[in-house]
Structures are given as C-alpha cells and as structure tokens.
Amino acid sequence: MPSITSERRQVVTDQIELERLDLDWLTPPRFQPDDAELTIAAYILAGGKSSRLYKKLVYELQIAQEVSADQDAYALASIFNIQALSRQGHTAAEQLPVVDAEIERLISEGPSLDEVQRARNQIERALYQNLQKVGGMNGRADLLNSYNHYLGDPGYLPKDIERYNKVTPADVQRALRAHLRKDARIVTFAVRGDKKLDPDPPAPQIAAVDGTESINADEAWRNTLPKPGPARAPALPTPRTFKLANGLTVLHLERPNLPIASIQLVVHAGLAGGDPELPGLADFAAAMLEEGTTSRTSQQLAGELEQLGAAYASQTRRDVTTLRIDALSRSFADASALLADIALHPTFPADEIERQRKSRLSDIAEAREHAGALADAAFTRALYGAAHPYGPASIGTGKSVQRIGQSDLRAYWERYFRPDNAAIVVVGAVDTATLRTIAERQWGGWKATGAAAAPLAINPPKTVSTRVVIVDKPDAPQTELRIGRIGTVRTTPDFPALQVLNEALGGAYTSRINMNLREEKGYTYGAGSRFDYGRLPAPFAVRTAVRADAALPAIKEVFGELKRIESSPLSGDELKHARGSLTQSLPGQFETNSTTAASFGELFAYGLPLDYYRKLPAQFQAVGAPQLERLARRYLDPSAMIVVAVGDRRTLASTLPSLGLGGVEVWPVDDVLF
C-alpha cells in the first residue's frame, strides 16, 4: 500500500449550501494492530454529543452542523476519516485549525479512562445490535462471514469484544501519534461554486467475439430457476401489557437471547397536535427534551447515556412523538431512568433553544440541495395547504423556526406529555417483574400538569387549485416527481387490501410502475408508490427521480399504470405474489428490538388490538380481486392526482402543460421551506 509522505490538499466546488471538511489517513488493516485503538479513537473524537469534536465544533463554537469520525477498515489498509459539515454562515477552512488543535491535545494528553470505556460500551452494544439481523449489512451472516474471511474464525465475536476491552488510554494515544500525522493525510474542502466534473471516460473498445462473452460456459441447469420452498406462515409476537396507576400504558416483549434492550416512549403528540401557525413546533419541542432537565445539563445527559453504551433518538411523526433508548441490558435500569428524566423534567434552557434554532435553520438551508426533500415538502403543502398540520414539513419553515420561543415549547410539552396520553414499549432482555418494578419506580410518579388536552380544531385540507406544481431547481440533471392524492386513515378496514393493491402497483421491485419506468423505459433507477396512513387521511404517492428529459413521458406512464390497474385487475399470479410478498416480509418488522418496539408503538398510536400483527397475514391472504377493483377506482383515479415536479422550470414549464391537467404553478425553492 503506497504511503502518504506529505499533506495533500484539494478544493472541490459544487452547488452546495453548507461547506464540508474531510480529513483522511491511511491506517492499519482490519483486525491488525492499532485497528481497535483507532476505532476507539474515532468514538472519542466524534462518536456522540459528548465527544471532543462535537463539544468543540457543534456545541461550544457552533461553527459546525455535525461532525463524525470513523476507522473504515479493509484488508489491505483502512481509512481514518474525520468529516465536519459547516453551519450556515461558516466555512470548511474555519473547521481545520479547531480539528487540528483537538487532535493534537488528544495526542499530547491522551484520553481518559472514562472516554475509552465509553467507546468500548458503544462498540459492544453496536455489535450485539447487529446480531439481531439475520442478513443485510452487518447482520449475523455478514458478521460471521467477515470473521471467517479475515481471520478464518467465524466464532470470533467474544475475541472481538475482548480486543476492544484490552485497549488502554496509552494504546489510543500511541496509535494516534503514529498514524494521524499531518504529513500523512488528505485534506479536502468542499465549497460552494460551479459543479466541475471530469470528462466522461472514453467508451471501452471491446473486440468482437464469436458466441458468448461470459467467462463461464453456459450450462443447461442455469436456464431453470430453483423452485421455492413451501410458504411459511409467520409467527408474529404479541406484547404483554399493563397500566400504572397514573394511566401510563406499558407494552412488553421479553427477548433474552442477546444482552440488549430497547425502551420507547410513545406520546399522542405528532404533527397533528402542532399549532398550524407555528409549523415545526412539535419537532422542535421533541428535539429540546434532551437539552437539559432539572437535574442534568445537555452535556451531562449526553455523557451519561454514552457512558452506559446507550443510544438516544427522538422522532416526530404525523400523529405521535417517540423517544427511544437502545442500551445494554446490564444498564437498562439506568438508561430507563435517563429517558424518564428527559421526558418528565425538561427545562428548555434559553441558550440551548438558540443552539437548536441555529441548527434547524442550517438543516432547512441544506434541504435546498436535496431535491427529494423539497419534493416531499412541496407535495404535502400542495395536498393540504399551510394551515393543516399535515401540510408543512416536520422541521417547519425558516420563519416559524425563528418565531418559536421557550413558552411555545413548554406549552406544547405540558399539553401532550402526560401519562394518560403515553405508553412505554420495552423489548429485549428484561423480564416482566423487573420491568414492572422499574416502571413503577421511575414512571409511577409522573403526573399531568393540567387538564387533558382538548382536540385541536384542524382546518380542512386546502389542496392547490391547479394540479401541477413545479419547484424550480435550475440546471437540475434529474427531476423529482411526486404524483398522488389524499388517501385514508390507519384504522380503515381496507388497510390489508390497500397494502396488497399497492404492492402490485408500486410497492415491490417487480411492481408495475417500477418495471415500466426502470426496466422497460430506463427513465429512472427506481420508482415506487406507497399509501401513508394517519389518524387523519394521509397521502398516497408515487415517488421517483427521472432524467431531466424524461419527466413528461414518465408522468404519462404513471398515469397509464394508474388507469390500467383500474381497468385491468391483477392477474392471479400478481395477486399471489403481492399477498406473499407482504406476508413473508412482515417478520422484518420484528427482527430487531427497536423495530419491534416501533411496531408495538403503532398499536398504541392507533388503538389497534394487541394481536393485530398475528392476524394480519391471514388478512393479506384473504384479499380478493373484486375488493382491489373497488379500491383502485376509489383511490387511484388519475383525474384526482396532483403532480409535483422538482427540477429546471425552463424544461418543465414548457412540457408539463401538455399533460392537459389545467394550470401550472411554479414555486421558488425558498417558498417550500422558508
């Protein structure tokens, strides 16, 4: 492997909103000496909110939006990477001296034992979490194969954990001094400017040959697909449940096979509970919960979570807000106590609100780069209007984020975060008796601060009067398309049939829409459709990104498929495949503790019975063609669809009117999120 003997710097220009700094070193191969030490070093530098670079760049100086570090390990050499995304108004060049100073300080002083132990715990939890999955990247099969490939020992996992446990602070210090030298790195500044692409390489000249070009001779058996095994009826879990005296619902599934557990708080407090005058309030409030409590600061919370090897995340969806912690089972009680503190005792400190506000404004600015995010935001705005809670993007708008204040955030939390409006879901290596004791001790004292929240008055959707909306993104090489309408609610009895219908139309890789646009026409790398659901009717949408010159024909093909599924019912094979695909993929929702907790959280969110998932496979199998014909006529009528296209208006405005759908509106990018 060639060594880097002097620092190399390069500047890359592109049409980006936020500048980025990348630092890269060639480091020892996977499982070789110093690989574990540098993996731990990456966690210490930028492995979470209590890491050194996060505290300095993101929290204290507030010049970076996010920062990460990674020992990306391979067989011949690894790449140690540090990446810092600048906050709006700051530059990549600003980040470099700060990053260098922190690396130099870590090398000269060495890490603390607490920092090393924090990294070990995070690595151990991540390894166990990967073992929950059978396949996929870092799943059990991948991990066993990796150990066998590199070491000839598929059972290396205990030794892998032990190699991290053997690492000392002095080992980390030595490895950093040896490998993260300034004269052995690549420094890349990504800055705003013209997109500069290298010329396309010349097409390879392939000499004509007689017969096949395959390196393997054709064999007759390759022409016959292997027959599938017998279909298996999924055995899906049902949670146990109990309630605390204060009204808090507890859902539980014990899984003792791995020493990890997930706890998730689900609150009836999503976008539908937000103030239409302050879009983004629900998500802002959820993000603020971890930024300080009556007993801990933001940094203390982050440090304690990471010391436990726990990972925290919050999410605001249409109808619920969720707070989740994944932890090692030996630290479950402490992790649950931290989650209770976050949810029950937030203080919404003024300085943390301002940090969060700057971060959210930078996120909104960065969204200008991402046509997919713009298309999703414009689509819901076109369907619902700004006055409906499902209309704006969950992050809100630039104007609303500027207006939201401490009193708004606290009022939202007081309104919805109450025990009779919430549930905790626990999945993993925790038994019921232990869980009941922990729940009573940590959550039993939770009391509502006022009367139960009355339902908000929600304005009816205000769909755009025209049926085509163009969001102008000049010189975009692709066009993001969203074609759809307002659909139905999660509790509809038609849910199983709608899922089967969509699986055949655009939900599966072999669905009609994907096979048409991708395989037959070559307009896109992928296309699909989906019914979303909520307490209020949520959207049905076809989603794809196509070549800039293919927007008009792609829309016509989608409309053609919508008409065809109305007029041409699914064939017997299509119906069989759609039902089978949905049935056999259901266990994927229960493969990990966190996905299982999310599935059980949906039971609480929509008042579904505890045995709902156990009965769902039979409901998929019972769906028949006549039911699908009725639903196709009701929900897939092309004349009821709205088209949103994010791309270059010069092309789109001259071609899309030929669809004959009525007027065309053109929205500037800033009107979507600002």
468-590+613-673 topology per CATH: Cytochrome Bc1 Complex; Chain A, domain 1 (3.30.830)
Residue 273: CB partners within 8 Å, gap ≥ 6?
282, 389, 412, 415, 416, 453, 456
Point out the least confidently predicted range of 135-139, 201-205, 618-622. 201-205
Residue 456: pLDDT over 80:
no
First and final CA of the chain: distance in angstroms?
49
How many residues make up the chain in this entry?
674
pLDDT band per the 50, 70, 90 thresholds, residue 450: low
In whole angstroms, what is the distance from residue 464 CA to residue 381 CA?
8
Burial (0-12, 13-18, 19+ Cβ within 10 Å), 282: buried
H/E element, 250: strand 249-254
Mean pLDDT, the chain, rounded, equals 93
Residue 212: pLDDT over 60:
no
In whole angstroms, what is the distance from residue 113 CA to residue 134 CA?
34
pLDDT at 200: 77
CATH of 8-192, one of 3.30.830.10, 3.40.50.1260, 3.90.1710.10, 3.90.245.10: 3.30.830.10
The CATH number of the structural domain formed by 240-443 is: 3.30.830.10
pLDDT band per the 50, 70, 90 thresholds, residue 211: low
In whole angstroms, what is the distance from residue 51 CA to residue 64 CA?
14
Residue 639: CB partners within 8 Å, gap ≥ 6?
none
In whole angstroms, what is the distance from residue 405 CA to residue 321 CA?
19
Sheet (strand 64-72) strand order = 8-14, 185-192, 20-27, 78-86, 64-72
pLDDT at 496: 98
Q: Residue for token digits 């065309």? A: 664
pLDDT at 453: 67
Residue 86: pLDDT over 70:
yes
Residue 48: pLDDT over 60:
yes
Residue 567: pLDDT over 90:
no
The answer to whether the pTM exceeds 0.75 is: yes
pLDDT at 275: 81
User: Average of pLDDT values for 273-282?
Assistant: 88
pLDDT band per the 50, 70, 90 thresholds, residue 510: very high
pLDDT at 213: 59
Q: Residue for token digits 């709006």? A: 88
pLDDT 10s digits, 572-613: 999 999 999 999 999 999 999 999 999 999 999 999 999 999
Kindly provide the residue ranges of all beta strands, DSSP E only, lying in 440-592, ordered along the sequence: 468-472, 478-486, 524-531, 539-547
In whole angstroms, what is the distance from residue 596 CA to residue 490 CA?
18
Residue 207: pLDDT over 80:
no
pLDDT at 228: 82
User: Average of pLDDT values for 207-213?
Assistant: 59
Locate CATH 3.30.830.10 in the chain: 8-192, 240-443, 468-590+613-673
Residue 561: pLDDT over 70:
yes
pLDDT at 455: 66
pLDDT at 208: 59
